[in-house]
Structure 1
Amino acid sequence: MVREPSVAAIDVIAALDTAVAEVAAAPDGAQWIRAVSIIDSDDLAVAAQPVTDAVLLVGVSGDEVVDWLRGLADPGHAAHRPVLILTKAADPRFGVAAAAASVAVVIVDDRARWDRVLATVQGVLDRGVDDDASAELAPGVDVDLIGLVGLVAHGTGGLVSIEDATSARVLAYSPSRGEADDLRVQTILGRAGPPGYLDLLRQWGVFDAIRRGGEVVDVPEHPEQAMRRRLVVGVHSGSGRHLGSIWVQEGAGPLTDDASDVLRGAAAIAARILTREMQAPSTEGQLVQRLFGAHGGIDASSAGAYLRWPVDDPVAVIGIAPVGGDESRQGEVMTAVGGALRLHASAFATTALTTVLDGRAYLLLPAVRSTALIRWTRGLVTRFDGDPILAGAVLRAAVVMPLAGLAEVSTGRVEVDRVLSATASDTESARVTTLAESRTAVLLGEILAVLSQRDDLTDPRLTTLVDYDVEHDGDLVPSVAAYLAAHGNVRNAARTLGVHANTLRYRIDRAQQLSELRFDDADDRLLTEIGLAIRARSTRRD
């Protein structure tokens, strides 16, 4: 039996740290949080709907919050009251309305990213312990990231934060105590720090040093930017993989004399923790991955019982992958964007499940009307356009629905993977598509992949043309490709190539003489087009 986490509401608020702009209605000390969910305006319109103990009101106005609180004050709605409401709206009526409903209300800083807030609350629940509890660990007792930041804060006298390898996500941080400078505040809120100061860090080689690892960098204070002194060290695995970084900002008092030594030790511990966490995700996270077919899969009935999801209800599977940008960083990019995808999926359907596997994100949603789901997915992937977190890439999605139930989720993942793989290099195709819409691209891509593995099926006549072009700096291959793509229309093909029609006729005749292919023969044309497609596929891959 899996224990359901339970954390005091005041501890959840404390964990949010600088993301809290105001506590409009404080919680009772005896109130506990067991689960968190996202609610939007449409959800509030559903009368007396059951909610979790903590709710994030995303895109909800102050008037809507007040009306909802007043409705919750009705004794008949007692079973549907949350313990804690988190909202970016602010209204002087919150205090009275919340008191009448016996609900705590926290106003979140408008600059905070909702996915960061959700991840923080869920992280507290997953630990099921007070943020400060691990700071008193006895020697020899294992420690997690939260415990580690407490130990480092105690050992250095500063404000500690641990960031992931992309520097886009704070994994853990110590209480700010009102001493955080703007860089720390913005980072915890999920925003980029002050551009001018970040440029200075780059000029000083701080980020390069973090990626190299090993050395503790002493970053001096910068009064003009209102930045305090800080120390930072990169975290790397035993194999040299960059896992993240640990930052210590000087607070009201100076850092300890041995703060650098403390950081070096902390980097070694953090490397073990992060490596362990990557290898052993949470129980629910691992179960969701297995539902999508990873780690050997799982029985649908078992997954449904744990996740409280009806086993036979129709579902939809969405696969999301980055296209373009730095391909070597696509795995990091999808891990970094995973929290935001979870946020938006949960806002669309509170039961949504998300995971990231092999550089792609997968969403499991209840099956709804296909047009509505496609429209929402299109808005989801375009929402991230231009976001620095994507490092120049854009997101593309594939949708498979309806599937008969949880037992078909892994099959759905295979199908969306087929679509994403087939359209990965096609920057002109739709950002959101289905297997039915992409059937030609999928089947042709898979056929070409099989043929490309068979050297004995390579046509030596096409190889002759390729070799001729290399030796004579010719253009026979692209000329043949354009000619066939234009269905033998010389003028259209010549216009595409930007040459005179007579020049193209000469090249086509020369290609037929050298290769002995006959482009007036349907079989020769088909075989040549297949060979050219395989060659183009190989060139893109290289």
Structure 2
Amino acid sequence: MPVHEGEEGHHETGIPLRRLLLVVGDPVMDVAAAPAGLDVRVDNVTILDPEDRTEAHAGDLVLLIGARGGAARRLVRALADQGATAVAVKTGGHAPPEEVLPAGSSPRTHRRAGKDEMAGLRAEAQDAGIALLAVRPEVRWDQLQSVCQNIVHDTRPSAPDELGEASGDLFSMAQTIARLTNGLVSIEDAASRVLAYSSGSEVDELRRLSVLGRRGPEPYLAVLREWGVFTKLRSGEEVVRIEEHPDLGIRRRLAIGIHAGSQPLGAIWVQEGSEPLSEHAEEALLGAARTTALHMIRQRTQTSAGLRLREDLLSSLLEERIDAAALADTVEVHADRGALVVGFSVASQAAADGEGDPSGEERLGPRDRPERELRLRQLIDLVSVHTAAYRRSSLVTELNGRVYVLLPDLVRGREGWLGVERSVLALTRKTVLAARSTLDLEVQAAVGSLVERLADVPASRAEADRVLDAMGRDLERGMSWEVATISDVRSKVLISETLAYLRDDPSLRDPRVSRLVEHDRSGGADLVHSLLVYLEAFGDARVAAERLHIHPNTLRYRVRRATSISGIDLGDPGERLFTQLQLLLELHGPA
């Protein structure tokens, strides 16, 4: 038996029929009879064929297919006796083609017979005390069951430990979407319950009531249903625009359905505040809906199809702990198509100081780590939104403080791989710009080379890491790179890796350069920096002096002093090259 209010130690289960009808409702089905009112609760949705054994349970909404006349009335009575909450039947409002009409009848008489049959069913349901719903003839039973069952499922309470982490991810996602769209965001399930929402003022009456009640208010849901909003949200990945209606307390807003395949999971709503929505709000919503679907699946099922497994699998592939086949079999990407990795890094104080931990973790105190984790989670959400809009099969994960994106299933176009690489670079620049403007994070990104097999993805990731390392060292010297490929920074990558080799093996260093460095440190001179700038200017004293903001004669004097103290012969090309490398190591060193 269903649990009702007032029973000690219990809570009601299921969803009120009224609420189910508000979400599904017209143009799908209408109420034909409701002898116990519309607050009766639905806990399960089943399909019953007349040839099957009649079996129902308390709280069931039974979709009755194919029954006609007296047989249908008997089934309605039997379902009521077994405790079912409601039964749904197809209406007879549309006549079938004439070739399938009973002999001697016309479409008009058939429609009249259909109305008479519905009247008989209505009287039977009224007498039996069961709700009767009339379903439009064109509605498919399997689709109706999927939609209704999904709405009912979303009202079932989750265990606190399951809901806590996942809902926290959704609140982070809502805040990220709000920054990208410049609006006020709420994420709702298929039953219009508010799962998460962004902060902000300038709320309209619809948002205020939704957030306070943690679900869409019924009068507003009815209006949105009349406007066809829910039908559009369930139908696919269309961004729905709702114009401002001051008389109803509704500001302009955008909405998009969240789906898992053909199954609707909920919707994302973005209300416009005092400022207009951003130019790319609709594109951001598309990626957000695809990413949020994974969060909601994890919240609902906690199974291997969830978001964390995807993150773990990608991490394992990038670190070569699993092979490409294991990833391809699980997340349905093609192992024999092109792919590449994009890496994102937040510029840290550690990198700016030239220290060895690229994530900055070693420098963080206990109070700093939660803030860093929040920033990283926000960056993951933002990157996920943008890349999902670009390619549905994209995967995002985090390793050692860096965020990595795998873009699989890339196909060579008319320009070969050039067109693909250009589009990925454009996507990456847009993502970095969004991170800097909406999250206020100094983010850099490196696009690894495109590989033609999924198995070679670790090589693309390693190349992205080499580029990020070089970009971090450039940032320390005052050159700000936002997005780069190996071709952009190849020389810097090679030089920095050479310097790392020199640092790890002190026996390779020239003691004469070390002597000059020690002289500067003890005497407060600036010979090392002057000599390095002179060598970088190919020995052109005027160019080097201009960079140092000194007179050329002053620079020439410093160079002579440097060679005199150290004993270095600048006439030897090999000594010039090695001196320049070691001076770079002494002044900056690899991070």
**TM-score scaled by structure 2?**
0.49
Secondary structure of 2:487's counterpart equals coil
Whole-angstrom CA distance in 2 between matches of 1:305 and 1:361: 23
Q: 1:408 maps to what in 2?
A: 456
- By how many angstroms is 1:316 displaced? 1.9
Structure 1 gap segments, 5+ residues each: 1-5, 30-65, 73-80, 130-143, 145-279
Whole-angstrom CA distance in 2 between matches of 1:7 and 1:314: 39
Which AA in structure 2 matches 1:397? A
Q: 1:292 maps to what in 2?
A: 318
Which AA in structure 2 matches 1:110? Q
User: What value does the CA root-mean-square deviation take over the aligned residues?
Assistant: 4.2
Whole-angstrom CA distance in 2 between matches of 1:22 and 1:534: 51
User: Relative to structure 1, is the Cα distance of residues 303 and 465 closer, same or farther in structure 2, using a 3 angstrom cutoff?
Assistant: same
1:490 to 541, 565, 577: 541
User: Relative to structure 1, is the Cα distance of residues 116 and 352 closer, same or farther in structure 2, using a 3 angstrom cutoff?
Assistant: closer
User: Relative to structure 1, is the Cα distance of residues 21 and 358 closer, same or farther in structure 2, using a 3 angstrom cutoff?
Assistant: closer
- By how many angstroms is 1:503 displaced? 1.9
2:382 to 340, 343, 346: 340
Q: 2:474 maps to what in 1?
A: 426
1:302 to 326, 331, 339: 326
Alignment deviations for residues 363-420 of structure 1 (CA, whole Å, 9 cap, x no partner): 1113362111111211111111143463xxx211111242122211122111111111
User: Relative to structure 1, is the Cα distance of residues 68 and 346 closer, same or farther in structure 2, using a 3 angstrom cutoff?
Assistant: farther
1:367 to 382, 385, 410: 410
- By how many angstroms is 1:333 displaced? 2.9
- By how many angstroms is 1:457 displaced? 1.5
- By how many angstroms is 1:68 displaced? 11
1:110 to 271, 296, 307: 271
User: Relative to structure 1, is the Cα distance of residues 353 and 400 closer, same or farther in structure 2, using a 3 angstrom cutoff?
Assistant: same
Q: 2:507 maps to what in 1?
A: 456
User: Relative to structure 1, is the Cα distance of residues 474 and 311 closer, same or farther in structure 2, using a 3 angstrom cutoff?
Assistant: same
User: Relative to structure 1, is the Cα distance of residues 107 and 117 closer, same or farther in structure 2, using a 3 angstrom cutoff?
Assistant: closer
Whole-angstrom CA distance in 2 between matches of 1:430 and 1:523: 31
Alignment deviations for residues 249-287 of structure 1 (CA, whole Å, 9 cap, x no partner): xxxxxxxxxxxxxxxxxxxxxxxxxxxxxxx99333211
1:125 to 292, 297, 320: 297
User: Relative to structure 1, is the Cα distance of residues 21 and 491 closer, same or farther in structure 2, using a 3 angstrom cutoff?
Assistant: closer
Q: Is 2:339 the counterpart of 1:315? A: yes
- By how many angstroms is 1:521 displaced? 2.0
Contact 1:7 1:125 in 2 (8 A): no
Q: Which moved more, 1:317-326 or 1:487-496?
A: 317-326
Alignment deviations for residues 342-371 of structure 1 (CA, whole Å, 9 cap, x no partner): 111111111111111111111111336211
2:526 to 472, 475, 479: 475
Q: 1:514 maps to what in 2?
A: 565
- By how many angstroms is 1:489 displaced? 1.6
Q: How does 1:64-463 map to 2 (within 5 A)?
A: 82=234, 89-90=241-242, 106=267, 108-110=269-271, 121-128=293-300, 282-293=308-319, 297-324=321-348, 327=360, 328=364, 333-365=375-407, 366-367=409-410, 369-388=420-439, 390=441, 394-427=442-475, 428=479, 430-463=481-514
User: Relative to structure 1, is the Cα distance of residues 462 and 20 closer, same or farther in structure 2, using a 3 angstrom cutoff?
Assistant: closer
Q: 1:139 maps to what in 2?
A: none
- By how many angstroms is 1:124 displaced? 3.4
Q: 1:220 maps to what in 2?
A: none
- By how many angstroms is 1:12 displaced? 4.9
- By how many angstroms is 1:518 displaced? 1.6
Whole-angstrom CA distance in 2 between matches of 1:402 and 1:358: 23
- By how many angstroms is 1:436 displaced? 2.6
User: Relative to structure 1, is the Cα distance of residues 440 and 512 closer, same or farther in structure 2, using a 3 angstrom cutoff?
Assistant: same
Contact 1:483 1:490 in 2 (8 A): yes
Contact 1:333 1:389 in 2 (8 A): no
Contact 2:471 2:481 in 1 (8 A): no
User: Relative to structure 1, is the Cα distance of residues 88 and 360 closer, same or farther in structure 2, using a 3 angstrom cutoff?
Assistant: farther
Q: 1:503 maps to what in 2?
A: 554
User: Relative to structure 1, is the Cα distance of residues 325 and 451 closer, same or farther in structure 2, using a 3 angstrom cutoff?
Assistant: closer
Whole-angstrom CA distance in 1 between matches of 2:346 and 2:434: 13
Structure 2 gap segments, 5+ residues each: 1-147, 157-166, 175-183, 194-226, 246-252, 274-283, 351-359, 412-419
Secondary structure of 1:437's counterpart equals helix
Contact 1:400 1:412 in 2 (8 A): yes
Whole-angstrom CA distance in 1 between matches of 2:271 and 2:290: 14
Aligned residues between the structures = 330
Whole-angstrom CA distance in 2 between matches of 1:358 and 1:104: 33
Contact 1:315 1:404 in 2 (8 A): yes
Kindly report structure 1 stretches of 4+ aligned residues shifted beyond 4 Å: 10-23, 25-29, 66-70, 81-88, 91-94, 101-107, 111-121, 328-332
Secondary structure of 2:539's counterpart equals coil
Which AA in structure 1 matches 2:150? A
Which AA in structure 2 matches 1:89? R
Q: 1:58 maps to what in 2?
A: none
Secondary structure of 1:128's counterpart equals helix
Alignment deviations for residues 27-50 of structure 1 (CA, whole Å, 9 cap, x no partner): 699xxxxxxxxxxxxxxxxxxxxx
- By how many angstroms is 1:26 displaced? 7.3
Percent of aligned pairs with the same amino acid: 26
Which AA in structure 2 matches 1:291? L
- By how many angstroms is 1:321 displaced? 1.0
Whole-angstrom CA distance in 2 between matches of 1:286 and 1:494: 53
User: Relative to structure 1, is the Cα distance of residues 468 and 11 closer, same or farther in structure 2, using a 3 angstrom cutoff?
Assistant: same
The structure having more radius of gyration, on CA atoms, is 2
